[in-house]
């Protein structure tokens, strides 16, 4: 291992996630350890197309393990979706003598990486970095744990005022197409209802549950709504509920981008560090088009093709548990 690989690139792409910095640091320091040069590209694929990049050494990534966001910044780059854009990116990688690319991002970023590798035969390795936890092949993505803790802290605060005023809150959390944040945080904050895109719920069920809760003496209720919920967003759900429960004092809170910021938790720092080492080792071993993840506590790999084409299932048992304890 490590004899032939001389120079790799690293970038962060798509929505940022706490722990991306820890992953960059790990990639860079693993390379330093093995005598491999690393170039960091700024703003995702845009930086590869524009050749906006610099060499990163061990000191360049000092004191970033604890910081949210990404020191390489991130972007959603439309040009990379075109063959011409990817050609420009490949030409810049070749010009710099880069022999492999580590992409830290979500499913869209991996789709781009996969195309680049298929079209131009450059090895790519994915590290799952997204707060949504919506990537197949890993139990956890980098940033998910931090976002969950941020949501739990925010909802706990809302609970204080909700209870003081005997109110019902509809709280919207992130998850464009997925309910991982809503489901896990919902259990942790004792939500009465958890609405996620993976599970179809009728408004009637929500109303019945809220009524039963009040009959059982609840002094506040929280309905956690994932952004991607099919029935509608938190505001819509609140308006519809008001029609059926006119005497309820209802408020809406959309947590928004605060969920993507903040210092990464210990779990995210450790996960990011493990996956950074694994990604470089995959390149050193001559592998390509795989994503490094963690399953049942161990680092694993899955083909990027599977990571982007398959959907991680929501844990039905967690849904069941949430139902039992939300009386």
Ligand X SMILES: Nc1ncnc2c1ncn2[C@@H]1O[C@H](COP(=O)(O)OP(=O)(O)OP(=O)(O)O)[C@@H](O)[C@H]1O
* Residues identified as active-site: 132
Shortest distance in whole angstroms from residue 85 CB to ligand X: 8
Closest-by-Cβ residue to ligand F6P is 15
Annotate 284-307 with DSSP letters as a single string: HTT--SEEEEEETTEEEEEEHHHH
**CA–CA dist 215, 231 (Å, integer):** 26
Please identify, using beta-carbon distances, which residue of 74 and 221 lies nearer to Mg ion: 74
298 is in an annotated binding site: no
130 binds ligand X (CB under 6 A): yes
107 binds Mg ion (CB under 5 A): yes
Annotate 97-135 with DSSP letters as a single string: T---EEEEE-HHHHHHHHHHHHHH---EEEEEB-TT---
Instruction: Tell me, by CB under 6 A, how many residues bind ligand X.
Output: 18
* From the list ligand F6P, ligand X, Mg ion, none, partner contacted by residue 311 (C-beta under 5 to 8 A by kind): none
Name the token pair of 277: 């080492």
**CA–CA dist 50, 211 (Å, integer):** 57
57 is in an annotated binding site: no
**CA–CA dist 251, 74 (Å, integer):** 34
Instruction: Tell me, by CB under 6 A, how many residues bind ligand F6P.
Output: 9
How, if at all, do strands 53-55 and 37-41 pair? antiparallel
Give the interface segment with ligand F6P, choosing from 35-43, 170-178, 188-196, 302-310 (CB under 6 A).
170-178
Strand partners, 12: 104
Q: Which residues contact 161 (CB under 8 A, 6 or more apart)?
A: 167
108 is in an annotated binding site: yes
Please identify, using beta-carbon distances, which residue of 30 and 130 lies nearer to ligand X: 130
Name the token pair of 31: 């390379």
Give the interface segment with Mg ion, choosing from 62-70, 101-109, 181-189, 193-201 (CB under 5 A).
101-109
How, if at all, do strands 168-173 and 250-254 pair? parallel
Helix (H, G, I), strand (E, B) or coil at 240: helix
175 binds ligand F6P (CB under 6 A): yes
* From the list Mg ion, ligand X, ligand F6P, none, partner contacted by residue 137 (C-beta under 5 to 8 A by kind): none
Cα-based angle 123, 13, 256 (whole degrees, multiple of 5) = 155
Please list every residue from 73 through 112 that binds ligand X, using CB under 6 A: 76-77, 80-81, 105-109, 111-112
Residue choice 6, 33, 165, 176 for contact with ligand F6P (CB under 6 A): 176
Please identify, using beta-carbon distances, which residue of 64 and 115 lies nearer to ligand X: 115
Closest-by-Cβ residue to ligand X is 108
Q: Which residues in 149-159 are b (16+ Cβ under 10 Å) and which e? A: bbbbebbeebb
Please identify, using beta-carbon distances, which residue of 61 and 131 lies nearer to Mg ion: 131
* From the list Mg ion, ligand X, ligand F6P, none, partner contacted by residue 112 (C-beta under 5 to 8 A by kind): ligand X
Please identify, using beta-carbon distances, which residue of 132 and 268 lies nearer to ligand X: 132
Shortest distance in whole angstroms from residue 122 CB to Mg ion: 22
Cα-based angle 8, 13, 16 (whole degrees, multiple of 5) = 125
174 is in an annotated binding site: yes
Closest CA to 158 of 221, 207, 210: 221
The phi and psi torsions of 205 (rounded to 5 degrees) equal -65, -40
Contact 93, 67 (CB under 8 A): no
**Residues engaged in binding ligand X (CB under 6 A):** 13-15, 45, 76-77, 80-81, 105-109, 111-112, 115, 130, 132
Please state the residue numbers annotated as binding site for Mg(2+): 107
Q: Point out the annotated binding site for substrate.
A: 130-132, 167, 174-176, 227, 251, 257-260
Residues annotated within the binding site are 15, 25-29, 76-77, 106-109, 130-132, 159, 167, 174-176, 218-220, 227, 251, 257-260
């Amino acid at each position: 291992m490590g004899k032939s690989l001389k120079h790799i690139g690293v970038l962060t792409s798509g929505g940022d996630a706490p722990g991306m910095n820890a992953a960059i640091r790990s990639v860079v320091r693993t390379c330093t350890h093995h005598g491999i040069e690393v170039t960091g590209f700024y703003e995702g694929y845009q930086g590869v197309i524009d050749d906006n990049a610099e060499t990163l050494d061990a000191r360049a990534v000092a004191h970033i393990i604890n910081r949210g966001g990404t020191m390489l910044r991130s972007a959603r780059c439309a040009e990379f979706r075109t063959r011409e854009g990817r050609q420009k990116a490949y030409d810049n990688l070749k010009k710099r003598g880069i022999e492999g690319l580590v992409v830290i991002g979500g499913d869209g970023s991996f789709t781009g990486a996969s195309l680049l590798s298929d079209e131009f035969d450059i090895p790519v390795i994915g590290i799952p970095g997204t707060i949504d936890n919506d990537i197949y092949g890993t139990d956890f993505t980098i940033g998910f744990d931090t976002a969950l803790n941020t949501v739990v802290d925010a909802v706990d605060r809302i609970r204080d005022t909700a209870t003081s005023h005997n109110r019902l809150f509809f709280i919207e959390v992130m998850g464009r197409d997925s309910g991982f944040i809503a489901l896990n945080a919902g259990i942790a904050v004792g939500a009465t209802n958890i609405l996620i895109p993976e599970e179809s719920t009728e408004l009637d069920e929500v109303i019945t549950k809220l009524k039963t809760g009040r009959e059982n003496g609840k002094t506040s209720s929280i309905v956690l709504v994932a952004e991607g919920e099919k029935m509608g967003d938190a505001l819509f759900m609140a308006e519809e509920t008001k029609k059926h429960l006119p005497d309820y004092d209802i408020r809406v809170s959309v947590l928004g981008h605060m969920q993507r910021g903040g210092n990464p938790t210990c779990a995210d720092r450790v996960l990011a560090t493990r996956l950074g080492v694994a990604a470089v080792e995959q390149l050193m071993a001559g592998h390509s088009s795989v994503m490094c993840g963690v399953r049942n506590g161990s680092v694993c790999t899955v083909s990027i093709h599977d990571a982007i084409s398959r959907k991680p299932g929501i844990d039905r048992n967690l849904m069941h548990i949430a139902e039992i304890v939300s009386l």
